[in-house]
Amino acid sequence: MAGVPFVFGNATTSIPLSNLDANFNTGLTIGNTTVGLGNTVTTLGNVTLNNVTINSGTSNVSPANVVATTLTIGGVALGAGDASIMKNRIINGAMVIDQRNAGASGTVINTYTLDRWYYQASAASKLTWQQNAGSVTPPVGFTNYIGFTSSSAFSIGSGDYFFLYQPIEGYNIADLGWGTANGKTVTLSFQVQSSLTGNFGGSIRNSAGNQNYPFSYTISAANTWTSVSVTIPAPNTGSSWNSTNGLGLQLVLSMAAGSAFSGTANAWTASNIYSVTGSTSVVGTSGATFYITGVQLEVGSSATGFEYRQYGQELALCQRYYYQTPNSTIYFSRGTSGLAYSTTGFEGAAFLFPQPMRASPSYSASGTVNFYNPSLGRVTNTGTVGIYLATTDTVYLNNANNGSGFVINSVYWLAGTVSNPSISFSAEL
């Protein structure tokens, strides 16, 4: 009979397999649990394992069976359920990408500032905005923020508003299930600093503005970065939230709001609300500052560590909504060549976007573009260049016979000038 060798002290002997089988059938006790061996699937309960190494090979540990109230890795709490990868629904939450301004300041209202961040106001020239305005030290772990500085002491009226907001595409919130019985709780978090102290506010809204959740937070110490976390329950069942490539959700970070746009915190309302009643007005004090970064919106009822993305990833996410060519006074990149069909007319300039855009984009230039052929030279355009055809990945441009001196059937590139070194394409929400 075959035996299995084993050692007791210095003695070596063997146990008949029949005896081993009999013993194994009775099971092996670990802790308070009897474990079957061989091919038997066994569940262990209340067992603490220390210094365990799982070697390569087949493992039957399934994430679905790992349950933890708070799962912490390396001291950082992970989000709820499926929220740990690409958990942040905010794009450019660390305020790193600034294609339009390259860090320059602006005072224009109702316009995009840093990528994906729109400044909306009821009155012009009250705030100056800029990436890293004031050059204060960003919060630990960040290199950038967006800053607003008040230009005067402006007393807001009931219908005034000044806020920074990010529109979020419906595709990026579809899994929240908002408007259904299975809507998920989300948590908003960010780092904020102001020269003022007090209560500040904001709002989460749907595209129609008829579902609003005003929220409030406090800045207790002036000129000090403050961590803010706000948990937002799912909105009412039956409310309308876009889940495709249109506007899904709006995050409003208010710097001042009149009574017509202020409401009660922490409750969903159909009223068109941007902030909370009694919030501090940044525009009310000349020279007041409001800086913010690290904005994150994620599934779950508690804030987790900010999700850092690589620069290229963040830029690509931004370019779904806006793309600006690198500056060039010769020709723009990405294949802008087209054909002169007459001495004045040009058509083509098949411009390939680096990322598929949310929708067919608008084309913009800050001045007159030219056309350039290395052998034939430069043709100055005297009028408008418009879109002949646009899709989500390509645009074709036409100059409507506004050029002069083209060589017919020759290829030209769309060319920048000193005053207009770049062109841009926008498919913003």
Partner 1 sequence: MQYKLFKDREGNVCSIVVIGGIHEQMSIPLNPDNTDYQAYLKWVEEGNTPLPADEVTNGN
Summarize as ranges the residues that interact with partner 1 (CB under 8 A). Answer: 108, 111, 245-246, 341-345, 347, 358-369, 383-390, 395, 397-398, 400-401, 420, 426-429
Q: Report the nearest approach of partner 1 to the CB of residue 219 (Å).
A: 33
Cβ neighbours, 10 Å, residue 72: 10
Contact 4, 17 (CB under 8 A): yes
Q: Closest separation between CB of residue 270 and partner 1, Å?
A: 22
- Residues linked to residue 389 through DSSP beta bridges, in sequence order: 396
In the 8-state DSSP scheme, what is residue 313?
H
Q: Residue 134 CB, nearest distance to partner 1 (Å)?
A: 25
Shortest Å, Cβ 320 to partner 1: 13
Cβ nearer to partner 1, comparing 207 with 212: 207
Q: Cα(51)–Cα(30) distance, rounded to whole angstroms? A: 17
Question: Closest separation between CB of residue 125 and partner 1, Å?
Answer: 15
Rounded to whole angstroms, the Cα distance separating 58 from 80 reads: 27
**Helical segments of 4-63, H only:** 17-26
Length of the chain: 429
Judged by CB, which is closer to partner 1: 198, or 383? 383
Query: To which H or E segment does residue 372 belong?
Result: strand 370-373
In this complex, which beta carbon is closest to partner 1, that of residue 260 or of residue 387? 387
Which of residues 305 and 345 has its CB atom nearest to partner 1 in the complex?
345
**Which residue, 84 or 347, is less far from partner 1 as judged by CB?**
347
Question: Could you give the count of Cα atoms lying within 13 Å of 130 in the half-sphere of its Cβ?
Answer: 13
| Residue 189 contacts residue 227 (beta carbons within 8 Å) | yes
Smaller CB separation from partner 1, 313 or 343: 343
Sign of CA dihedral 164, 170, 174, 178: positive
- Cβ proximity to partner 1: between 355 and 401 the closer is 401
Shortest Å, Cβ 272 to partner 1: 18
Q: What is the DSSP letter of 317?
A: H
- Write down the least CB distance from residue 243 to partner 1, Å: 14
- Residues 338 and 349 sit within 8 Å (Cβ to Cβ): yes
CB 327 within 8 A of CB 235: no
